[in-house]
Structure 1
Amino acid sequence: MVDRRDLASWLEGPPTPAGQWPGRRLGLPQSGSGSIARPGRRLAALCIDWGMSYLIAWWLAGGNQGNEFLILAVFAAEQILLLGTLGYSFGHRLLGLRVRRLDGGAPGPLAAIVRTLLLCLVIPALVFDVDQRGLHDRAMGTVLVRN
């Protein structure tokens, strides 16, 4: 018989050993400000950003639908500009998340560009470690945390 844990385990990421939590190896707290952002908030922030990108692309195209490249370009521009300057996108800000380097600093323009390009490929965001950092975060030494 299939158990609920069997179906939901992939959403929670790799199992963490007893007494461990995502981010502990990185020196981050278990919960509260500065802790690793959980998958539900990440997905919700991504949906907000994608929805806003869709609306902006629709407006730029004069109300015409069906230009997926324009939506992706708007999404990438939003991510690069906002992450590179502020450390968060619209969706991140609304859900109390921010991207930062492992040393605590802002991600900066280069990290925002590389992180966004990898995020647009989708696969790197789906492959993550025990600290719930996707390949796009690991590549640039960044982490998505709660504000």
Structure 2
Amino acid sequence: MARSFYLAVFPFVLLIAAMLVGAAPLVNRQIGDLQCNIDRLGIVADLTKLSTTVKSLTTSLASDATNAPIAQAAQDGVTGAQGAIKTIAAALFTGQTAPADARDQVAGNLTAIGAALGNITSTDSTVTASVQKAQTQLSSAVTAGEGVVSNCS
């Protein structure tokens, strides 16, 4: 009895659902495929990890007159890249095209981070280990960013 009820109701529910669901417009959609979204998530996650490492590095070098401003420049680069990615995400979520200048800002900030990390010099093994960790995280973020450029169009 219950089975016949479901068999009678199911086609009706399916018909209503089909009438309510419409195809999403393809114009200006940049949601991306699976690999694109994996790359997007990758750069966000990598920058979050990098931010934590660089903040720690900045704290460690706070009393070092030579390296403190360099570490701060790296932190500013991370903040700038994250801000540009937020701009891109906001555009995508509202169905707009990602601003080219925001993509350029991400790339420029990643380059600035690399330059800053490359200029930090220290004999403290904790600092050098943190710099190496940050450089590895930066490399991973750059790889994910390159994936976004090549896989998201």
- TM-score, normalised to structure 2, is 0.32
* Structure with larger RCO (C-alpha < 8 A, sep 6+): 2
TM-score norm. by structure 1 comes to 0.32
Larger radius of gyration: 2
- Structure number with the higher helix fraction is 2
